[in-house]
A and B are shown apart, each in its own frame.
Chain A
Amino acid sequence: MSELLAIENVTSGYGESVVLDDVSLRVNEGGSLALLGRNGVGKTTLLITLMGLTRLHGGTLRWRGEDLARLSTHERARAGIGWVPQERSVFPSLTVEEHLTAVARPGPWTIERVYAMFPSLASRRRNFGGQLSGGEQQMLAIGRALMVNPSLLLLDEPMEGLAPLVIQELRGIILDLIATAQTAVIIVEQHAKLALALTENALILDRGRVVHQSTSAQLLADPATLHRFVAVA
């Protein structure tokens, strides 16, 4: 598999402050990575850095061999990075269908395909974003990101605050996404075991630095490391 994203020795943060310190990682086309670690270690900052919303103090970001850092946020989205932020950012006064059509870009993901993947969205297509449940908002945020037809999907704690049944459903959907292998996925998750079961590779951050990197299967079989750096749920 060819390289999609490569982060090399990246140091970034907000203004003068540094949150990420000398972080390197690689994601292949269609690959999947679980980004783990305790609260406040820089997982979300890493995703935000990929979107160009932090200050990059040093290091390089490569996207299919090109320099990603010189692209603005909307250009990165159009180049194929789909970000599903933790707070979901659903628009209260757009309908489900409007969320999807407003951002649509040509590619394999169409509105029909998103509805096929999320039947509960299809049945609520005329409802406003503000009328949806937490699980539906999460699905809508993912569906909206897919409509931009990303090559890499950044999922920031997609399961947070959702009911167990909804987590089950979403888990199946993310597994599906990774299995079809058209879209690479980076998933930030507090439920470490859940994320590891879904992904191919894993990376643990601690205080802004990479402290562990392996396949997800290896990390699952290494409870000592998990206990040391991740709150295991």
Chain B
Amino acid sequence: MPDDVATRPVRLPDDRWHPLEIVFWLGLVTAFFLFPGYRVLGSQILITGLFAVSLDLILGYAGIVSLGHAAFFGVGAYTAGLLAVYGWGEPITGLFAGAATAAIVGYGTSFLVVRGHDLARLMMTLGIGFLLFEAANKAAFVTGGVDGLSGVVMWKLFGVFTFDFAGRTAYLYSLAVLFILFVVLRRVVASPFGLSLIGIRERSRRIPAIGAPLRQREVAIFTISAAVAGMAGALLAQTTQFVGLDVLSFSRSAEVLIILILGGAGRLYGGLIGAVVYMVAQDILSTYISAAYWRFWIGLLLVAIVLVAHGGILDGATAIYRRLTRGRS
């Protein structure tokens, strides 16, 4: 059957890699060489992007709203940070340890979250976030409390690459982890399991009637999402060699939600694009315009995006892209 551009679904990703996707990833590699002075910021954008992708799995696919996703980011960050403080600074195992503990916490809390509806889920995730934040604050003898966890000493990556202050290793390490996870998650969301998540978002009451156990699937994706968020947290701890209490904060949960909605939920790439736009805008605004009032401009940007393309930047861009390609054919 010939591929008719007009009828082909525009949702990304589907099975094949779109040329624009390859351009996107090559762009992230190119940025490493083009902006050597911004590699630290770049690695934080990649990490935040991964965190936003983790939120997209539950919000954009399964339709589970969360105001406390930093809980899992923070658990991953403290796990990797504490491992390094107590003598195990090997990055890759630390990364998986962060994912594992976040997955355990995610699995345990998922039962509390999925049983309710939207408002109950908002309250529940918010509550879990607050609980973990205050627990880490109180357990200062382990976490460092408000002073943060210092003394994180990372070993060389693969025994070769030192985590330098210029962010060279941090950027490439974050990019590699992000890309590998992304390829895996891309498969997951295109699988029957992933498709059933979209079904859960759109007609959740009818999903069991076509043979998919609703609650089990919600628990599964919540756990996977927590694990990915934990990996993002672990990456931040390892690349900055510090864990601040803010990894668990409400503002981090809110920020990742803003980033995802800004970029466009439900397509995996929205979180990445949102992270790039949000953090670059934040950097430019706070450097060149006003360090104190950068949120004013971010607010303006959000209002504009929602007015122009309520599906986020990705939706707006897709609409323009489709118009252009249709014009050509």
Contact = CB atoms under 8 A, between A and B. Distances in A.
Contact of B203 (A73, A89, A101, A125): A89
Interface string A83-111: 10100010111110010011111000000
Given A91-B198, A91-B202, A94-B199, A104 B212 contact: no
Contacts of A92: 202
Instruction: Give the most central of A51, A83, A98: most B CB within 10 Å.
Output: A98
Given A91-B203, A93-B198, A94-B195, A105 B211 contact: yes
Contacts of A36: none
A78 interface: yes
A126 B208 contact: no
Instruction: Give the most central of A51, A53, A103: most B CB within 10 Å.
Output: A103
Interface string B140-151: 000000000000
Contacts of B196: 102-103
A202 interface: no
A196 interface: no
B320 to A, nearest CB: 20
A139 interface: no
B208 A77 contact: yes
Contacts of A72: 208, 213
Contact of A94 (B1, B4, B8, B198): B198
Contacts of A43: none
Given A77-B211, A105-B211, A126 B195 contact: no
Contacts of B212: 74, 103
Given A89-B203, A93-B11, A127-B7, A103 B198 contact: no
14 contacts: A72-B213, A74-B209, A74-B214, A83-B210, A85-B209, A93-B266, A94-B195, A94-B199, A102-B192, A102-B199, A103-B210, A126-B7, A144-B210, A148-B211
Instruction: Give the most central of B8, B196, B202, B208: most A CB within 10 Å.
Output: B208
Nearest to B11: A93
A128 interface: yes
Interface in B145-159: none
B209 A126 contact: no
Contacts of B207: 74
B25 to A, nearest CB: 25
Interface of B: 1, 4, 7-9, 11, 192, 195-196, 198-199, 202-203, 206-214, 266
Contacts of B209: 51, 53, 73-74, 77, 83, 85
Contact of B195 (A78, A98, A125, A127): A98
A73 B208 contact: yes
A145 interface: yes
Contacts of A74: 207-209, 211-214
Contact of B206 (A89, A95, A101, A124): A89
A231 B208 CA distance: 33
A70 B148 CA distance: 52
A192 B212 CA distance: 33
Contacts of B210: 77, 83, 103, 144-145, 148
Nearest to B207: A74
A78 B207 CA distance: 12
